[in-house]
Chains A and B, each alone.
Chain A
Amino acid sequence: MFISQNFEMDSFSQNPEFTIHSFFTFLDTTIMAVEFEGGVVIGADSRTTTGAYIANRVTDKLTPIHERIFCCRSGSAADTQAIADAVTYQLGFHSIELDEAPLVQTAASLFREMCYRYREELMAGIIVAGWDPRRGGQVYTVPVGGMMTRQPVSVGGSGSSYIYGYVDSNYRAGMSKEECLKFTAEALTLAMERDGSSGGVVRLAVISEQGVERQVILGNQLPKFSTV
């Protein structure tokens, strides 16, 4: 149940010390974030597993870090919750000091600092996305290992492996908010159909200057594809 290996994680997966203990709660997941003109759309599935048992089938993996900055969590549930709590505190403090809304890049940097410094102890793949007045909607990905990079569209989690083709072929720059929502919902649905560690409902959120709009797509309302 490793996170997808598209970044330089050879050292991580070949590290002989690393074993999966059977009672970690994992957010082996599908998470996704897309930038559009005026904001970002983020989405995630809702499954948390301990081994083969689904500990929580309605998890909310889209965690608010600040008013208009969210993070999508994948990997170890305990690690990502602890990191998100720490960064929420640090960013809140920083924002009060600055007396203005924090930058999404600042939030992503704080995540990166923690994920890189403690990379041997942590298992966390995080996508930071939000809107700030200076640079608009932004998506930063901080995968396992602690790298940080900005991408217009980013997917993560174990289910992401199955949708790279779909995302690469269907993403166009300059999509509208509705198109992004449909794109995200469909991509997540396809991943959830194929990945055993992803499932439940699709949680979506749109972050823009106006604020945050959240929605849930229940299992029976998911988009239907011909083979599934």
Chain B
Amino acid sequence: MATVSVCQYHRGGFSFENCKRNALLEADINKLGFSSPAARKTGTTICGVVYKDGVVLGADTRATEGMVVADKNCSKIHYISPNVYCCGAGTAADTEMTTQIISSNLELHSLSTGRLPRVATANRMLKQMLFRYQGYIGAALVLGGVDSTGPQLYSIYPHGSTDKLPYVTMGSGSLAAMAVFEDRYRPNMEEEEAKRLVRDAIAAGIFNDLGSGSNIDLCVITKGKVDYLRPHDVANKKGVRTGNYRYKHGTTGVLTKAVTHLNLEVVEESVQTMDTT
């Protein structure tokens, strides 16, 4: 049974035709010897855990551009609402903008309902937006928060599927972090134990995954309180140099010295005060 493809003009919705063109251009550019600009990715380890009183979210702080570290201390735990935070892995711009858009919409929604926003609402909004873009927005998110229905944790994939689970990991270091979780997770942990577990899971990602590194950020969300611990653990401190390339005065012998004064007149002087209130 053969398919007959009919050329149909899209009425409304998104057109992804340029993606084919971009793929062809990319192939051609490589033949000419240039390289297409690399999107900055947060090859990452992010994770979250539900414990007795709330959720703990964790993230590393390395942002990479190809094989180069673009930002040694970027913040991957984004604010969504006072009781909901979201960690983002994937393309840095996508996670940043997506979380900001949903945060704005959620604030408007919250003003409209007159209630504290729910984690499930943020999850719905994020998954519907990502599905609409059919995976072209490269944002893999760990969404966590506490609302009137209790603490909740969701993992959200770029194509728009979500899972509601007691512990989740995402990003290139997710397998290393999940190994730690599968070994030591217990339901209803105390706060200190949960923080230690998340810290160790992110550390596993940092030390075993090339795309993750630098420090560990934590965000502890409970009913009525959020502890944004940035950094919680400086796992990779920059080393102190043992030698010095500065030479003392007099190392090089001075043979002659000539001083020329530059006589400059002040022509015009004006002062503009800045309003710093």
Chain A positions within 8 Å of B, measured between CB atoms, are: 8, 10-11, 15, 21, 23-25, 48, 50, 53, 55-56, 58-59, 76-78, 81-82, 85, 121
Distance (whole angstroms) from the CB of B105 to the closest CB of chain A: 17
Determine the residue in chain A with the shortest Cβ distance to B124: A85
Q: Write 8 A-B pairs (CB below 8 A) sorted by A numbering.
A: A8-B1, A11-B1, A25-B157, A55-B155, A58-B165, A78-B160, A81-B162, A82-B131
CA distance A104 to B162 in the complex (A): 26
Give, as a whole number of angstroms, the nearest-CB distance from B211 to chain A: 15
The answer to whether B163 and A48 have CB atoms under 8 Å apart is yes
**Bound-complex Cα distance A122 to B126 (A):** 19
The one of B1, B130, B157, B165 that contacts A77, using a Cβ cutoff of 8 Å:
B157
- Kindly list chain A residues whose C-beta atoms are within 8 Å of the C-beta of B165: 56, 58
Closest A residue, CB atoms, query B159: A78
Q: Quick one: closest B residue to A17, CB to CB?
A: B5
Q: Across the interface, do B161 and A23 meet the contact criterion of CB distance under 8 Å?
A: no
Residues 126-170 of B contacting A (Cβ, < 8 Å): 127-128, 130-131, 134-135, 155, 157-163, 165
Taking a contact as CB atoms closer than 8 A, the residue among A8, A10, A53, A78 that contacts B175 in the complex is: A53
Q: How far, in Å, is A227 (CB) from chain B's closest CB?
A: 29
A56 touches B163 (CB 8 A): yes
Q: Which 8 A-B pairs have the closest CB atoms?
A: A77-B161, A78-B159, A78-B161, A78-B160, A11-B3, A56-B163, A82-B131, A25-B161
- Report the minimum CB–CB distance from B174 to chain A (whole Å): 8
- CB contacts (< 8 Å) of A78 on chain B: these are 127, 130-131, 135, 157, 159-161
Q: How far is the CB of A10 from chain B (nearest CB, A)?
A: 6
Chain B nearest Cβ from A151, distance in angstroms: 22
Q: Which residues of A contact B128 (CB under 8 A)?
A: 82, 85
